[in-house]
């Protein structure tokens, strides 16, 4: 079967297999600059994925797990994983060689690296043990990072010998392919450290966002709010899990690769959002009360792109360009979805 990719999409796709045909695989080349070496502590799903991402970018990686045997097994799994990604057309052969060169380390795992990336399970006692020992053994100028989806970064910083060089991160599964990374400074983190981490992440193709140290940070707070409402829709009999998934990915979720909630609401109209929220509040309760900041914007006539300002301000030229580029991206994504439709997996289970 002939592969169909629009010209606009093809120039952005560096690695893709459609109908068994490999399309556009190329090596991104190696990362230049800081860090030259990184130690990844913890070889679970996230640790292995981050190690592959770092190594594929050309960074020297030392990989360590709980025991020497587990560390050796982790390297074997990492190499198998990289080869599997290459066979699927997701990773260039040159990058596979760099991943296979990852070193295992037990003693001295952090003594000669610029970056220590802790990725052990979300157990604060274990994190304390690892962060304390690693920060004492690492070079004085090394940056210490803890990957966590929920633990307070300020609390974790208390375990580190050099808290000014400590920062939290939240990578997302699968870490090799998900571009977003939350960067969460502690109160003690130096600005230079944050700037260095952001520059590094951008250099290896990630899209970092610096966020505050609140419960769940930003991503988990938003995605779990969505999840709770999705479960309630099923519990209330509005739709099956499969239909909820279809609504999310094909309706508002379709926009999310390109726009976040503030640009989306500005384009839709903040007055429209206020009216919809009032209906939801009347029917579903106070959790849908419109925020005061939204009501103030509507009162001021800041209704979004149609009035030139909403949460953001827009010149006439920016507004026209935004709407045109929105339509171009939606059309291109629709074409891509014809070749890469949603994966149909799982089947409904009869209730009790």
For residue 229, tell me if it sits in a domain.
no
For residue 347, tell me if it sits in a domain.
no
Mean pLDDT of the chain: 91
Task: Tell which of 161, 194, 210 closes a domain.
Answer: 210
Same domain (yes/no): 130, 197: yes
Q: Are strands 143-147 and 166-171 parallel, antiparallel or unpaired?
A: parallel
Same domain (yes/no): 135, 203: yes
Q: Torsions phi, psi of 232, nearest 5?
A: -65, -40
CATH number for the domain that contains residue 287: 1.10.1040.10
- Reported as a pLDDT band with limits 50, 70 and 90, residue 148 is very high
Asked whether the predicted pLDDT for residue 352 surpasses 80, the reply is no
Same domain (yes/no): 183, 261: no
pLDDT at res. 15: 44
Asked whether the predicted pLDDT for residue 43 surpasses 50, the reply is yes
pLDDT at res. 13: 39
For residue 240, tell me if it sits in a domain.
no
The better pLDDT of the pair 136, 18 is held by 136
Task: Tell which of 152, 179, 210 closes a domain.
Answer: 210
145 and 130 Cβ atoms separated by less than 8 Å: no
Same domain (yes/no): 191, 284: no
Residue 276 contacts by C-beta under 8 Å, 6 or more apart in sequence? none
Same domain (yes/no): 191, 332: no
For residue 224, tell me if it sits in a domain.
no
* pTM attached to this predicted model: 0.89
CATH number for the domain that contains residue 185: 3.40.50.720
CB count within 10 Å of CB 93 equals 11
Asked whether the predicted pLDDT for residue 17 surpasses 80, the reply is no
Number of domains making up the chain: 2
Give per-residue pLDDT as tens, 295-322.
999 999 999 999 999 999 999 999 999 9
Task: Tell which of 160, 184, 210 closes a domain.
Answer: 210
- Reported as a pLDDT band with limits 50, 70 and 90, residue 347 is confident
CA angle (284, 285, 287) in 5-degree steps: 105
Q: Which domain holds residue 81?
A: 37-210
For residue 78, tell me if it sits in a domain.
yes
Same domain (yes/no): 191, 261: no
CA 249 centroid distance within chain: 17
Q: What is the average per-residue pLDDT within 11-37?
A: 60
Same domain (yes/no): 174, 256: no
pLDDT at res. 29: 64
Asked whether the predicted pLDDT for residue 9 surpasses 60, the reply is no
Beta bridge partners of 167: 145, 185
């Amino acid at each position: 079967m002939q592969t169909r990719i629009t010209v606009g999409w093809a120039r952005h796709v560096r690695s893709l297999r459609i109908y068994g045909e490999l399309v556009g695989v190329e090596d991104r080349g190696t990362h230049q600059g800081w860090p030259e070496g990184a130690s990844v502590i913890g070889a679970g799903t996230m640790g292995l994925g981050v190690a592959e991402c770092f190594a594929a970018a050309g960074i020297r990686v030392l990989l360590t797990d709980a025991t020497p045997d587990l560390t050796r097994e982790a390297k074997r799994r990492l190499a198998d994983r990289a080869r599997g990604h290459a066979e699927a057309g997701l990773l260039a052969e040159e990058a596979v060689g760099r991943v296979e060169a990852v070193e295992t380390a037990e003693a001295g795992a952090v003594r000669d690296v610029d970056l220590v990336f802790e990725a052990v399970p979300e157990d604060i006692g274990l994190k304390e043990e690892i962060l304390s020992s690693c920060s004492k053994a690492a070079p004085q100028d090394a940056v210490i990072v803890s990957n966590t989806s929920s633990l307070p970064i300020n609390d974790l910083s208390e375990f580190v010998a050099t808290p000014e060089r400590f920062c939290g991160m939240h990578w997302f599964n699968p870490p090799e392919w998900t571009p977003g990374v939350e960067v969460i400074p502690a109160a003690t983190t130096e600005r230079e450290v944050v700037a260095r981490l952001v520059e590094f992440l951008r250099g290896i193709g990630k899209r970092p966002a610096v966020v505050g140290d609140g419960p769940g940070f930003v991503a988990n707070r938003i995605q779990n709010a969505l999840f709770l409402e999705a479960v309630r829709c099923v519990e209330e009999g509005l739709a099956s899990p499969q239909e909820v998934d279809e609504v999310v990915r094909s309706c508002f979720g379709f926009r999310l690769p390109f726009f976040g909630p503030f640009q989306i609401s500005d384009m839709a109209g903040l007055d429209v959002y206020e009216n919809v929220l009032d209906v939801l509040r009347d029917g579903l309760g106070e959790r849908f009360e419109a925020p005061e900041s939204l009501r103030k914007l509507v009162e001021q006539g800041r209704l979004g792109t149609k009035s030139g300002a909403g949460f953001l301000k827009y010149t006439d030229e920016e507004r026209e360009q935004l709407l045109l580029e929105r339509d171009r991206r939606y059309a291109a994504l629709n074409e891509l979805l014809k070749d890469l439709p949603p994966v149909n997996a799982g089947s409904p289970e009869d209730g009790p």
